[in-house]
Chains A and B, each alone.
Chain A
Amino acid sequence: MATRILIADDEPLYIRLLQINLLTEGYEVITATNGEEALDLVSAHSPDLIIMDIMMPKVDGITACERIRQFSTTPVIMLTARGEEHDRVLGLNVGADDYIVKPFSATELLARVRAVLRRTQSSRDPLQSRFFTHSNLKIDFARAEVWKDEKPVFLSATEYRLLIQFAHHVGQVLTAEQLLVAIWGPQYREDKEILWVSIARLRQKLEDNPHQPLHIVTRAGLGYLMPPIEKEMN
């Protein structure tokens, strides 16, 4: 099966340039002109590699990359403009595998694509779902949206990040310190109170009864966990 590459760029001439060069190498190419479209294509067509511009309408490349990493390990190459070092660092921080600086030559592009594919071949996981469900709770990682009983729930950025920590570690107790460091950073290691407030707020929004939580459960003296859902027997 041919290696499938997703290209996302808002400039049609860049899409054409990437496409025509990649096609000669026998890759299969799918294209998107904004971040939102790219996210949909990632979950629908599970590409083997994503080449994505940073400056894109709707959802920019950095945000798109960050969201892709919530459900997929597909390698990402960022296209950045010269001089935007900040963007490159940001891209690598949110999980991009490499970057190409515009203007670039066709041979450089192809060499980078080959290198990234080679480097990531062994570590690539099969695509996970962009959706996560936990009884009446549903998360769409691609759109960063949460539903409870099919109704959208509006979470703050911090609340969302806290929730996906639990969603990525179902059945695993996370200590307050782990959560604080992961979401607020190491300088908040001791700040249990902000975690308490955030968990209380999250429970208010997600639980039927916040005092008897089913999604985020306290394990006294240990931490918090999202318990595994036992398969219902029909």
Chain B
Amino acid sequence: MSETIEPTVTPTIELDNLYAISQAATRATHWKPALDQIVPLLRAILIFDNMVLYLPDANTHALEVAYARVVGRGRSAGPDLAWGESVAQQVYKNGQIYLQQPQPEKSPEERLNFPYLLGIPVTTHEKTLGVIVFIRFGGPPYSSDNTRVGAFMAERIAQLVEYQHMRQQLEVMEAERQQARLQEDFISTISHELLTPLGFIKGYTTTLLRPDTSWDESNRHEFLTIIDEETDRLQELIDNLLDSSRLQSGTLRMQFQPVRLDALLKDVTMRARMHHKSLQIINNLDGPATPIQGDPQRLAQVFENLLSNAIKYAPGATVVISISREEAHAHVTFQDNGPGIPAQYLPHIFERFFRNPEQAPNVRGTGLGLYICRQIIEAHHGKIWVESFVGEGTNFHLLLPYQQPSKPSAGSKKSQLVES
């Protein structure tokens, strides 16, 4: 008996290993660790010294070595061994199994130079994904059973590679879809917000213009008031959209000047009370009235926004506004005893276009208000954050520095905002 005689593989071992290979291939998410698991199983039912998997490079489409194992004779020879490169090229090109059986049997010394090669295309759905090459240094020649086991292996590899490709593509598509959804949400929010006031303006104007009806004074007044208010709403929405995109691009300039926060807050609350008679505001503004460096118009915008949020999302609640001094910063808080914001939404409420999905269907809004607030406060080198407990209420905190840094670091977006 020569040493090259293949050990007998019993049908049970063969079946067990094929099953284990199939299982490893099915359960794997990445083909490399799967192959590490599969190669020893395969080696027990198909004798080879080297195994090489060639896959095309994603960009150049040229075949590259993707995986290689030396398990038998020739471990010490390393790079000098035959790796079946030209066979791989040929198999990849014509998609056919290639068998190279050197005859006659060489002497043991010459074996490394005359390998037995089995090249099998790795294909799925008619598409050649790569090539797997089995190399034997010495006989016996590959039997037809060997070829079938090799082909089975190639199919499992194809499955693994394809699966990984698909997962990668899926991830890319998921990311794109997410982006598209954000865009769509934005467009549908904006168009709904623009169309709603427009619908009322159109509806009530054409009602007034109906040729067959004459409205009494109180009706005319009612309709015109609605039209007036809806026009303001459109104006506000357009202003918010413009502000938000200017803040986003860093082109909104802050006009810094000394601002007394207590006076500004009193103004803002007085205006809010005029528009919302039922609004309960308690001002705790008796702290030190040192002015800060800020843009009064933009800060008023922030305060108005926080108040209008309280009116919208915590109707009937009492809002307590306080100022305190914290070293170099003024600390302003807006505290309400409304329904609160569920914890899972808190990390997102300052994001552009984010809206609490539980409130979004019932309360008008664009998801721009708090985003604008944060941008304005950050342009003041300040901080804004929120604390909220469902059933207890919501606190908005603002930290505003008394002094703006005199030399803003050049180049950053914030410095652009502070210049001028």
Q: In the assembled complex, which residues on chain B have CB atoms less than 8 Å from the CB atom of A105? A: 202-203, 206
Of B195, B207, B212, which contacts A17 at CB under 8 A?
B207
* Distance to closest chain A CB from B359 (angstroms): 12
Task: Please tell me if the beta carbons of B199 and A20 are within 8 angstroms of each other in the complex.
Answer: no
Task: Given A13-B226, A102-B199, check contact A107 B361 (CB 8 Å).
Answer: no
Q: Does any Cβ of B come within 8 Å of A214's Cβ? A: no
Question: Which residues of A are found within 8 Å of B201, using beta-carbon distances?
Answer: 103
Are A81 and B203 neighbours in the complex by a CB distance under 8 Å?
no
Query: B203 contacts A17, CB within 8 Å?
Result: yes
Q: Mark B188-199, 1 if CB is under 8 A from A, else 0.
A: 000110011011
User: Taking the complex as formed, is A106 at the interface, i.e. its CB lies under 8 A from any CB of chain B?
Assistant: yes
A216 and B362 CA atoms in complex are apart in Å by: 43
B20 to chain A, nearest CB (A): 36
Q: Is A196 an interface residue (CB 8 A)?
A: no
CB closest chain-A residue, reference B361: A57
Give the residues in chain B near A83, CB-CB below 8 Å: 191
How many CB-defined contacts (below 8 Å) exist between A and B? 48
* B192 to A, closest residue via Cβ: A81
Which residues of A sit under 8 angstroms from B204, Cβ to Cβ? 17
Judge whether A82 is part of the interface by a CB distance below 8 angstroms. yes
Question: B199 — which chain A residues lie within 8 A by C-beta?
Answer: 14, 102-104
Residues of B within 8 A of A108 (CB): 206
Contact B362 A106 (CB under 8 A): no
Q: Does B277 contact A (CB under 8 A)?
A: no
Is residue B245 within 8 Å, beta carbon to beta carbon, of the partner chain?
Answer: no
CB of B203 within 8 A of CB of A57, answer no
Q: How far is the CA of A83 from the CA of B199 in the complex (A)?
A: 14
Cβ–Cβ contact A106 & B195, under 8 A: no
Closest A residue by C-beta to B206: A105
Write out the residue numbers on chain A whose beta carbons fall within 8 Å of the beta carbon of B230. Answer: 13
Count residues of chain A with CB under 8 A from any CB of chain B. 18
**B213 at the A interface (CB under 8 A):** yes
Q: Would you call A21 an interface residue if the criterion is a C-beta within 8 Å of the partner chain's C-beta atoms?
A: yes
**Which chain A residues lie closer than 8 Å to B361 at the CB level?**
57
Q: What is the minimal beta-carbon distance from A107 to any residue of chain B, in angstroms?
A: 6
- Bound-state CA distance A20–B199 (Å) is 16
> What B residues does A57 contact at CB under 8 A?
361-362
In the bound assembly, the distance between CA atoms of A106 and B219 in angstroms comes to: 15
Residue in A24, A82, A106, A108 whose Cβ sees the most chain B Cβ within 10 Å: A106
Asked if B191 and A103 sit within 8 Å, CB to CB, the answer is no
- Complex: how many Å from CA A14 to CA B226? 11
Find chain A residues with CB under 8 A from B206 CB.
105-108
Residue pair B207, A102 in contact (C-beta under 8 Å):
no
B195 surroundings in chain A (CB, below 8 A): 81-82, 102-103
For A24, the chain B residues whose CB sits under 8 A away are: 210, 212-213
A17→B362 contact, CB < 8 A: no
Q: Smallest Cβ distance from B116 to chain A, in angstroms?
A: 53
Q: Contact at A21–B207, with CB atoms within 8 Å?
A: yes
Query: 0/1 per residue, B341-361, Cβ < 8 Å to A?
Result: 000000000000000000001
**A11 CB within 8 Å of chain B:** yes
B396 on interface, CB distance cutoff 8 Å: no
Residue among B192, B203, B206, B212 with the most chain A CB within 10 A?
B203
Flag A91-112 by CB within 8 Å of B: 1 or 0 each: 0000000000011111110000
Chain A residues with CB under 8 A of B114:
none
Per-position binary interface string of chain B over residues 209-244, scored 1 when its CB falls under 8 Å from any chain A CB and 0 otherwise: 110110000010000001000100000000000000
* B186 interface residue per 8 A CB criterion: no
Bound complex: CA A17 to CA B197 (Å): 13
Shortest 5 CB-CB contacts between residues of A and residues of B: A105-B206, A103-B202, A103-B199, A106-B207, A106-B206
Q: What are 28 pairs between A and B in contact, CB < 8 Å?
A: A13-B200, A13-B226, A13-B230, A14-B199, A14-B200, A14-B203, A17-B203, A17-B204, A17-B207, A21-B210, A24-B210, A24-B213, A57-B361, A81-B195, A102-B199, A103-B195, A103-B199, A103-B202, A103-B203, A104-B202, A105-B203, A105-B206, A106-B203, A106-B206, A106-B207, A106-B210, A107-B206, A108-B206
Instruction: List the interface of chain A (C-beta within 8 A of B).
Output: 11, 13-14, 17, 20-21, 24, 57, 81-83, 102-108
Contacts A17-B200, A108-B206 known; 18 new A-B pairs at CB < 8 A: A13-B200, A13-B226, A13-B230, A14-B200, A14-B203, A24-B212, A57-B362, A81-B191, A81-B195, A83-B191, A102-B199, A103-B195, A105-B202, A105-B206, A106-B203, A106-B206, A106-B207, A106-B209
